[in-house]
Structure 1
Amino acid sequence: MSNDKFSAPMPWIGRYIVAASLICILAMIVDAIQGIRRRKFWLPCRFFTLNAASLTLLGVVVKLPLDLNNPMPGENDQMAKLSSVVFMSTAMANFMPSLALMDNKDIFMEMAALGILVLTLAANVCIELGTGVIYSEKIEHIVVMLSIVFLFVIMCFSALTVPTIKCYLELKYRGKVQEISLQDLVEGEKPVEVKLEENLRKFLIMAETGNPQFVLARSATCATCCAICCLNGLLLLEVSLRDNLFGAHVKSMSDYRRSTYCISRIQAGGVAVGTVSSLIRWFAIARIKCSWRNIMNIKVEKHLLERLKDWKDSPFALQIMNPKCRKLVQQIQNLILGNCIRVQILIAVASKIVQLFPILLLRLLNSCFFPSSWCNNIINSESESAENLEEDISRYVLHLEGEEELAEVMENKRDDTTWMMEIGRKQQPKHLMKLLVGKFNKNQFPSPQFQELHNGWKMPIVTLTTIATTIPNIDHKIVDNLLLSVSESLKYVSFIEDVLGTNGNSEKNTRAADIAWLELYLYRKWLDQNLQKLALQGKTGKGILQNFADIAQNYVTKDDYSRKPAKVIAANSMYQMSQIILEDGERIDDQTHVVFFDYISVMIAGILGACLINMPYVITKICSDCAIEKREENVQHAIHLLGEAEEIIKSLQQHEEVTPTNSSNSDSDYSSSDEIQIVIE
């Protein structure tokens, strides 16, 4: 009875293993689908990456081969152990590009955790092979475990090159950015939006080729990992066919019961998914390198050995006073690192040889199925399309040593900037365009009083919109159109403030504006006051502004712990805005409601113009000043944003004599802005 109670939870543990395996498989599938949709057939890792969560899942996935106490004599039980080990090797091979996403500390921590899992798995499998717990497919288990250890060694030495690769790519990127900036100063005749599109095309090619994941994916070591993954997948397929895995007569004889039946099938499916992904990545990189002239040049590049050589040339970290001991420790360090350098060279040479197989296979297929004349026509057409470009962008391709021909390959790559721009053009803010075209007036640009507020653009826009929606006797469609226009604009205003605003006060103002806008847009309220009731209280423009000023003054000055900091900022902004309009507006009492509404709308359009005129500078800034891991995503976002705001930029550039509140050449004034402080007497 006690044994039955002890083994009762085991089937549930088996279901837990199935669930963990399904999560890993789903992540691999999503990565593959996204990579193919974006025409990145080297399949970048976004979901299935080397991190604490994935390692925890893998620890659950390999529960069966780690189980030393539970005998699993059934054929399906033995097969489940093998499928778990092969699944581990498949996951490790698919982790390879994600090493480029981490910094030095994360690489060390994650590789240490992976090493502990690999060593534990290897030790347990060896024990089970020695004790007879694993009695079936012994050779296959040994082969797969050796491949896992080899994969881990390859990943360790590849991880050592990541910081060097990033540093080298960053230096090249900064140099190219300076070239683009200099060209901007020279090319002053073209419209701003045209120059931006040309520059973004250059930024995109630099971001794509300088993507650390792409650099690691096109390395020879990644090709070796893909090859090992494919071989292990074929080995599992051969064992499955040989043992008739899918036969109905196979029965589990362990405490896991029929859960092992599901584990073996689910994990076999995961191995198939991971193997196909590795195969696609392997041949995608081989297709890029297929046209390289020096593919037979087996040379170990400097960046592969640079970090190990730096460590070898550096003194031992700990200071040892005894000269003899210090000399001995230094010699041991040099001996270990010297052997590591030799292993790195051996891995690099072997990986380059492995990389030749798909390249030679693709060349053979091209020569058999594609006539040379047809290929020449394609090359000629691609070169003609490249000549049509105003500038050769191949010199903006970022490559490492030994990848010089990558520039020729990327030159004939289809330009993604155009279709990204088209997607953005289909999502242009139509209501915002109507507001700017109809209401923007250079004479109504923010006055000096507005410039003294120093609380950005978002809070004044929300404040003025609140005032506008309170004006009575205005057609609700006109008010709704204004709200839609402001709603479309706030996305761009937030984007510009995020890029230019770097201090804590700017973040507080932005959060306060978001809360105030949400309250206004959804509930037509401000500081918990119903705007419809406020509209009835103030019959004239001056009365409306005075009501807002009084409410804001009462909220700021009241001694109440229920006051919220965000609403205090909104009240401060409303008080200042009301006072400025009362002082700046001429005969505001004599204006009709329609004229007053139009007056406020023109002010909103003026502040929006002051903000959005910084768009070209901000778009360039996010492409220049971003982390290398997020650079490609930022450039793509910038291209999409330019497509959306292209007409806005054209419209604002027509007002040449208009000077924005914040210069597009410097964000120092904005960054140094202080929190609004109102002294209410």
Structure 2
Amino acid sequence: MGFLGCDSHGDLNDSEFSKPMPSIGIYVAVASLICGLAMAADLLHGFRHRKFWFPCKFFSLNATSLTFIAVAIKLSVDLNTSMPSRHDQLAKLSSSVFVCTVMGNSMPSLGIMDNEDLFMNLMALGILVITDVVNICIQLGTGAIYVFSEEHCLVLLLMLLMLMILSFSATTVPTTKRILEGKYKKKYDVALNCPLATERTVAKRIQQDLAKFWMMAHTSSPQFVMARSVTCTASGFFCLLSATTLGEAMVRSYLLKPRSLGFCHGDSDYKWSTTLVLVCQTTAVAIGTVAPAIRWFTAVNFRCPIRGKKYYRDEFRVESYWTHWFSEKKQRPLSLWILKGRRSRKVAHDAKRWMLDVCIVIQSVMVFASKIIRYISVYFVSRILVCCYLAFRTRGTVSHAESETSSSNPSSREDIARFVLHLEGEDELVDLMVRSNREATDHWIESGRKNQPINLIELLEATTSISKGFEGIREFDSNEVASLAPEEPPNCWALPLVTLTSIAVALPNVNPSSLKKLLSAGSEALYYVNKFECVLDTGGELANLRKAGEVVWLGVDLYHKWFDVDLQKLSKQERSPEETLLELVETAKKEFTESWNMNLMVCTKQTPSHWPIKTLAANSMYRLCQTILLEYESRDYGTGEALFKKLETIISDIVSGCFCNVAQVISAKCLVTAVEVREESVRGAALHLGRTEKILEIVERRCLPELRCDQMKKIDEWRAYYKINSSDCNNQNKKTVCPYADELRLTVE
């Protein structure tokens, strides 16, 4: 009887060792399929968002993807497992082509990494590729790979070339980011001071600015900069060539006299799983090749003579930013504290300079070779395009009409072209980038219009006819209310909105449909108010107040509860609105006292805005209920329905006041410091503009107080203004002021 891997005679029993191999094959197939799905997601994302340079959102070079790649190439690095059949040999080739596809697909992702991650990921990828190359060479020598030798040699060469392209292209990322960031800050000021046209409405003026901001953010996006580079074009060509090599091998082995290739009979230890690996990896290669191939074809198509480019001036010049990183490193001293002597330090420094000179030469040769590849591609592809042009010449009338449409507003195109940020040698790409992205903001805004906050718009429309100004901002909290604490916390936009809605839910004799609409409108309003206030509150002083609003709203929206108080149950009791408010006052006072005593050390040492969430929420409920009770004594609201309508008006005024800051919010979102997320931020601003365009039109009809931009973003500044100028709020003849600053300017640090 054998045990511990030995037979009854004590000899090694390896007959059971190959049983897990099909499971390993499934593991390899799943890893390949996951990579393929991620590349497919990037492809769909590019088509959906009209980014035909295909940024890497789901699949990029990082620790996770490198782990999956290492698993996926298991078959190509397997040295001692016999793989005789056609599927086995093709699976080894597909694993190598898969690596080329991964490198070609993920090249734009180099732009979004910081220097440390860039170095570590490329180092890991280099180790992976070198290991794969060495193992395949060994198998070619030992005969483990006995067919497709030429294909393997070509794929290995392409693999090494693509690794070199990735590594040396990565050295340009810090330089291009620095160059384009400087240009962005200069153009940002120009964009604010040079309107494209005079528009009267707020939304249209913001839309014009967004068109400029989008063009700047998009053309300076690190991924787009890398995707439009000549080395990425060459990488796309190599990726397409490697996929073609795999396709040629499969056609030969299945269709063109497969017996002549001399495949051996028998199965490998991986058995049927090699077929699964081959199918998954071939699918991943087919999907992953589309994006690099389109990048290559776009670059080639643009430079074809049929497109109007007749001369190739400076076509083969190597721009300075390609070698700037190496030149900069040459000037810096080595930080080798181990070397004490002057002679040893001099030798080390000279060796460093020599190595960097070699890198500069390699970089220059690589860029020059990439431009040669592009030129050769243009030469051959242009012949095909000329044939297509002649074949479809009969459609010249349509093309002429399209060209007239595209050039119907040349002045607008020229104005937008001023905000295209490009590098040295990219002058000819400016017009292409303008034509490709000039209407992108219109597309995002139109997408936003499909998801407008309908309930909030209905609420604002209904109350704007009642309130021509922003009286509710002054009225929601009275200075005559006695304080529960030694010092009052500041007000934010979100917490009063939530507290007033909570009070409205507790009122008796309210129409259920009206209450349902208010809750829906409040949920939509809180989403935008929180978004706006997060941008406006740059110091984070009001963060706890916003959190208090979010916590309270969660209970009100889902359970109709304010902490432990069932507001819906309270509304069904046979009480007057005044009695309901008094009970809420007592409950809030009790909650405040308990929370204050429990967190006495925090409350006494911290500023009021940093009090615990429950303390802030209870204080807000107490003050707002007391304010309504004071108004209740001076005004007879009658039934709960009448008071409910009054609360709706106050809520509408608060939301409208917050929306007066939309221009500042969009301006801030267009100048986020992280260049990697700036494009997405501007796109989000365009979507928000589309969703809130109708709201801006409603708010624009109101009477806006004469506040500066820095005052307008704080609700307490509005209250201070109305305290001094109490008559402005009721002045119906006052001219409406557009809630948009003619000159919005943020400090660029």
Q: TM-score, normalised by structure 2?
A: 0.83
Q: Aligned-pair distance for 1:139?
A: 3.2
Q: CA deviation at 1:136?
A: 2.8
Structure 2 segments unaligned to the other structure (5+ residues): 1-6, 8-12, 480-487, 601-610, 718-749
Offset of residue 243 of structure 1 = 2.4
For the residues of structure 2 that align with 1:37 and 1:494, how far apart are their CA atoms?
28
* Higher alpha-carbon deviation: 13-22 or 120-129: 120-129
Structure 1 residues 177 and 289: CA distance shift in structure 2, 3 A: farther
For 1:399, the equivalent position in structure 2 comes to 422
Please give the alpha-carbon distance, in whole angstroms, between the structure 2 residues aligned to 1:313 and 1:538: 84
Which among 180, 189, 197 is matched to residue 191 of structure 2?
Answer: 180
Q: 1:604 and 1:589, CA in 2 relative to 1: closer, same or farther beyond 3 A?
A: same
CA displacement, residues 104-131 of structure 1 (integer Å, 9 cap, x when unaligned): 1211111111112112222222333333
- Decide whether aligned partners of structure 1 residues 590 and 260 sit closer, same or farther in structure 2, where only a CA change above 3 A counts: closer
Q: Among 147, 163, 167, which residue is 1:156 paired with?
A: 167
Name 1:572's counterpart in structure 2.
619
Q: CA deviation at 1:253?
A: 2.3
Tell me which amino acid in the other structure corresponds to 2:432.
V
Q: Counterparts in 2 of 1:161-560, with a 5 A limit? A: 161-183=172-194, 190-244=200-254, 253-290=267-304, 291=307, 292=309, 295=312, 297-319=315-337, 320-370=339-389, 377=400, 380-382=403-405, 384-387=407-410, 389=412, 392-413=415-436, 415-440=439-464, 441=467, 442=469, 444-447=471-474, 449=477, 453-536=489-572, 539-558=575-594
CA distance in 2, matches of 1:182, 1:651: 27
Residues 193-215 of structure 1, C-alpha deviation per residue, up to 9 Å, x if partnerless? Answer: 22111111111222222222121
The structural deviation recorded for 1:242 is 2.1
- CA shift in 2, pair 1:83/1:391, >3 Å: closer
Alignment partner of 2:670: what SS?
helix
User: Equivalent residue for 1:678?
Assistant: none
Deviation at 1:586, TM superposition (A): 4.5
Q: Which moved more, 1:436-445 or 1:489-498?
A: 436-445
Q: Structure 1 residues 130 and 361, CA, compared in 2 at 3 Å: closer, same or farther?
A: closer
- 1:676 matched to which residue of 2? none
Moved more, 525-534 or 551-560: 551-560
RMSD: 3.0
Q: Post-superposition shift, 1:475?
A: 0.9
What's the offset of the Cα at 1:600?
1.4
**Contact in 2 for aligned 1:286/1:355 (Cα 8 Å):** yes
CA shift for structure 1 position 295:
4.0
Deviation at 1:44, TM superposition (A): 1.7
* 1:651 has 2:698 as partner: yes
Q: Deviations over 1:16-58 (max 9, x none)?
A: 1111111111111121122123332222211121111110100
User: Is the 8 Å Cα contact of residues 617 and 665 (structure 1) preserved in structure 2?
Assistant: no
8 Å CA contact retained: 2:91, 2:274: yes
* More deviation, 246-255/567-576: 246-255
Question: 1:63-82: per-residue Cα shift (whole Å, max 9, x none)?
Answer: 11222342333343222111
What CA distance in whole angstroms lies between the structure 2 residues aligned with 1:591 and 1:94?
69
Task: Return the TM-score normalized by structure 1.
Answer: 0.91
Aligned equivalent of 1:136, options 140, 147, 150:
147
Whether the 8 Å CA contact 2:199–2:205 is kept in 1: the answer is no
What is the letter of the counterpart of residue 580 of structure 1? Answer: T
Give the distance between the partners of 1:394 and 1:499, measured in 2 at CA. Answer: 29
Partner of 2:747: none
What is the number of equivalent residue pairs in this alignment? 670
Q: Deviations over 1:221-264 (max 9, x none)?
A: 11111111111112112222222289899865221111112212
Deviation track 1:597-625 (CA, whole Å, cap 9, x = no partner) reads: 12211211121112111112111210122
Residue by residue over 1:342-390, the C-alpha shift from the partner in whole angstroms, topping out at 9 and shown as x without a partner, is 0000000000111123433454344333368769836851553233639
Kept in 2, the 8 Å contact 1:501–1:670? The answer is no
Q: Which moved more, 1:255-264 or 1:53-62?
A: 255-264
Moved more, 30-39 or 298-307: 30-39
Q: Pick which of 187-196 and 199-208 moved more.
A: 187-196
- Structure 1 CA distance for aligned equivalents of residues 282 and 145 of structure 2: 18
- Mean CA deviation greater in 491-500 or 325-334: 491-500
The sequence identity of aligned pairs, in percent, is 38
Give structure 1 stretches of 5+ with no counterpart: 673-681
Q: Which amino acid aligns with 1:254?
A: S
Work out the CA distance in 1 between the residues paired with 2:470 and 2:553: 27
Gap change, CA 1:531 and 1:112, over 3 Å in 2: same
For the residue of structure 2 that corresponds to 1:539, the secondary structure is coil
- Give the direction of change, closer, same or farther, for the CA distance of 1:597–1:668 in structure 2 (3 Å limit): closer
Distance 1:99 1:338, change over 3 A: same
| Matches of 1:447 and 1:671, distance apart in 2 | 9
Q: Measured at CA, do residues 90 and 190 of structure 1 come closer, stay the same or move farther in structure 2, by a change above 3 Å?
A: same
How many Å apart are 1:468 and its aligned residue? 0.6
Matched to 2:450, the amino acid is K
Shift of 1:188: 7.5
Q: Do structure 1's residue 636 and structure 2's residue 683 form an aligned pair?
A: yes
Aligned pair 1:622/2:669, yes or no?
Answer: yes
Counterparts of 1:245 and 1:106, CA distance in 2:
45
Q: Distance in 2 between matches of 1:378 and 1:188?
A: 29
